[in-house]
Structure 1
Amino acid sequence: MNTKPHFDFLRQFFNSYECPVIEESSHHLKVQLTSQMDEEIMNRPFYWHYMKKMNRPGDPMRLTFTHTDHAQDGGIFLHAGTPKLHTIYQTAMEKGKTARLYEVIQQPIQNGALTPWLVINLLLHYRGKQTKDEPLSFGLNLIHGTLIKGMMECLDGHDFDRKVSDYCFPMTPVINLKSAYSRIEKFVENYTTTLDDSWIKDSLHQLEEEKSLLDSFYASEDIGLDQFTQEREQLDTRYRPRFSIEVINGGIFYMSQQTSQHLLMKKQP
């Protein structure tokens, strides 16, 4: 079994959250957890509750992962079904929902001001006779409110870090997050009105046909009132056309003036 992708993921995950890898070989990986990470993935709530009550720092655990089933020194056998691996995947997904990232500036610049952008990735769900999901990403400049559609594609090739580069400083947003998100939400609502509505008409037509057929069954007493009512509700759920928005993740990305101007010239909705 090739476990290298699992080891690569764990190494990147723990490095991202400042949990140092203290030992590594071709067959094992040993990591020192931080207190916060221990709380999140080790399922020791009573221990950490006691430590906090006693105002003590606590003793974060070390984890050893191995790709052999003869785990040594309490090592965790790493494979696709490893419970601890799935716990870490879930933690990564939860942490990955929000982020505050700063563009990596390789060369010091005289004006190191970094412009804040609200970046949102979402899925637009279409439900009706046919169903589909459309991924969308947006970036809204929190200084002057310019909105860019397809933001993730625009950011391709740009490096970001959780720390501010030397000689740089983040600008204070002029537009608050609630207002910025409302603007993106309003744009998505307007966007749906520009789409081809043939799928809506097809769905409503199919719904009416199915309801007529069900009515005929009920009129001929082939089904009772309870079943009729239940199936009418199911038909509505299955065929009535509707949109819904699911936010996948988002965050504030601080970018140099040069990058911000480049994005504005490159792509706008």
Structure 2
Amino acid sequence: MVMSAKQVQQYVLRYLDTTNCHIIEKSPGHVIVKLSPQADRELTNRPYYWGYVDRTGVEPETMKFCFIFDRNKMSDLPPDPPPGPGMNAFRLLKEDVPYGSRRLDQFFQAAKTGGSYVHLFEQPTSEQKSIPASTPYEPWLGLNIKIEFACDMKREELHSLGISMITGEIAEQFCDDMLTRKMTPRLPANVHVTRGSMTLSRAKNMLEQYVEKKLKSYDDTWAVEARDRLKDEIARIDSYYEVLLKTDDEEQKKTVEDQYANRTQELTWQYDPRIRVSVINCGIFHIRAHDMQ
């Protein structure tokens, strides 16, 4: 899937909340935030500044950003302050964060490096709290997956999948569902966790099989066309090097052969279609049993 502006915003807000950033203002189209030290280190590429902070122990001054997800839905923003000495940390930096942007990819990488695994419990509702009996929670393994279709062109899809470790039921848009729930890293009172009937390894394998089956159903026209372009390019360099390889100079011939092999290898890498599947992050989510309808 391609993430909508709303899904991008939900993902970014979850990252900002997880890294304890201070949300100053938000609307359906944007968020103004003062980064936490952790987020500033991961997003701003200021190694020299943070090296200075680490050496001297001074209180860090983190940066403020306005991340824009949908300009049609955002409220009016305050104007930038006039430039002046020492204003970098206080200036409000505005950035559009659409799907496919460098900044969103940076959020993905930060989440993958610093928060690639979570273990969360759904917070009880007020109705649950009023019931004397303990509420059973069902464990789900959730994976956010990136699928890259690469040749001389590139396309990416993001998929969020969850699998019940009791029933084996698989749900798509799993992250979207989790974002609608209030979660906590601590086991809530009056709740008990149901033991899963399958191992993490088995659950992971089932999701891998699900993705593999899904990919087999895709239209492979893009791959066929990429291989045709590769054949055309190989034929073109074959005709070029065919003449050069007829030389009687053995040293020159060896040089041409090496050039031909390298060029063929480069073209194969550039045009040969391939699919890469990688896990961005994952987690175990304990939610109310039979509540994924």
Change (3 A) 1:189 1:98: same
Residue 228 (structure 2) aligned to one of 205, 208, 220: 205
Task: Return the offset for 1:153.
Answer: 2.6
Aligned to 2:149: 126
- How far apart are the structure 1 equivalents of 2:62 and 2:213? 49
CA distances 1:2-39 after superposition (whole Å, capped 9, x unpaired): xxxxxx999845649xxxxxxxxxxxx9x999xxxxxx
Change (3 A) 1:14 1:192: closer
- How far apart are the structure 2 equivalents of 1:227 and 1:78? 54
- How far apart are the structure 1 equivalents of 2:224 and 2:194? 48
Task: Return the offset for 1:231.
Answer: 0.9
Unaligned runs of 5+ in 2: 1-12, 22-33, 39-49, 52-56, 65-80, 94-106, 246-254
Correspondence list, 1:1-269, <5 A = 12=17, 15=20, 65=62, 77=89, 93-107=112-126, 108=129, 109=131, 110-221=133-244, 224-257=256-289, 261-263=290-292, 265=293
- How far apart are the structure 2 equivalents of 1:12 and 1:156? 12
8 A contact 1:32–1:61 mirrored in 2: no
8 A contact 2:143–2:162 mirrored in 1: yes
Q: SS state of the match for residue 180, structure 2?
A: coil
8 A contact 2:37–2:62 mirrored in 1: no
Q: What one-letter code is carried by the residue in structure 1 that aligns with 2:121?
A: Y
Which has the higher mean CA deviation after the structures are superposed, 180-189 or 152-161? 152-161
Q: SS state of the match for residue 200, structure 1?
A: helix
Unaligned runs of 5+ in 1: 1-7, 17-28, 34-41, 44-59, 81-88
Task: Return the offset for 1:130.
Answer: 2.7
CA distances 1:20-70 after superposition (whole Å, capped 9, x unpaired): xxxxxxxxx9x999xxxxxxxx88xxxxxxxxxxxxxxxx99656588998
Identity %: 20
Aligned to 2:43: none
Aligned to 1:4: none
Task: Return the offset for 1:173.
Answer: 2.2
Which has the higher mean CA deviation after the structures are superposed, 102-111 or 131-140? 102-111
Change (3 A) 1:140 1:78: farther
Change (3 A) 1:61 1:139: farther
Q: SS state of the match for residue 224, structure 1?
A: helix
Change (3 A) 1:203 1:175: same
Q: What one-letter code is carried by the residue in structure 2 that aligns with 1:161?
A: T
Change (3 A) 1:182 1:133: same
Q: TM-score, normalised by structure 2?
A: 0.60
Give the RMSD, CA atoms, in angstroms.
3.9
Q: What one-letter code is carried by the residue in structure 2 that aligns with 1:199?
A: W
Q: TM-score, normalised by structure 1?
A: 0.65
Q: SS state of the match for residue 139, structure 2?
A: strand
- How far apart are the structure 2 equivalents of 1:11 and 1:32? 11
Aligned to 1:84: none
Q: SS state of the match for residue 167, structure 2?
A: coil
- How far apart are the structure 1 equivalents of 2:241 and 2:16? 62
- How far apart are the structure 2 equivalents of 1:129 and 1:66? 38
Task: Return the offset for 1:154.
Answer: 2.9
- How far apart are the structure 2 equivalents of 1:168 and 1:64? 41
Task: Return the offset for 1:178.
Answer: 1.3
Q: What one-letter code is carried by the residue in structure 2 that aligns with 1:205?
A: D
- How far apart are the structure 2 equivalents of 1:221 and 1:64? 63
Q: SS state of the match for residue 244, structure 2?
A: coil
Change (3 A) 1:112 1:189: same
Q: What one-letter code is carried by the residue in structure 2 that aligns with 1:105?
A: P
Task: Return the offset for 1:218.
Answer: 0.8
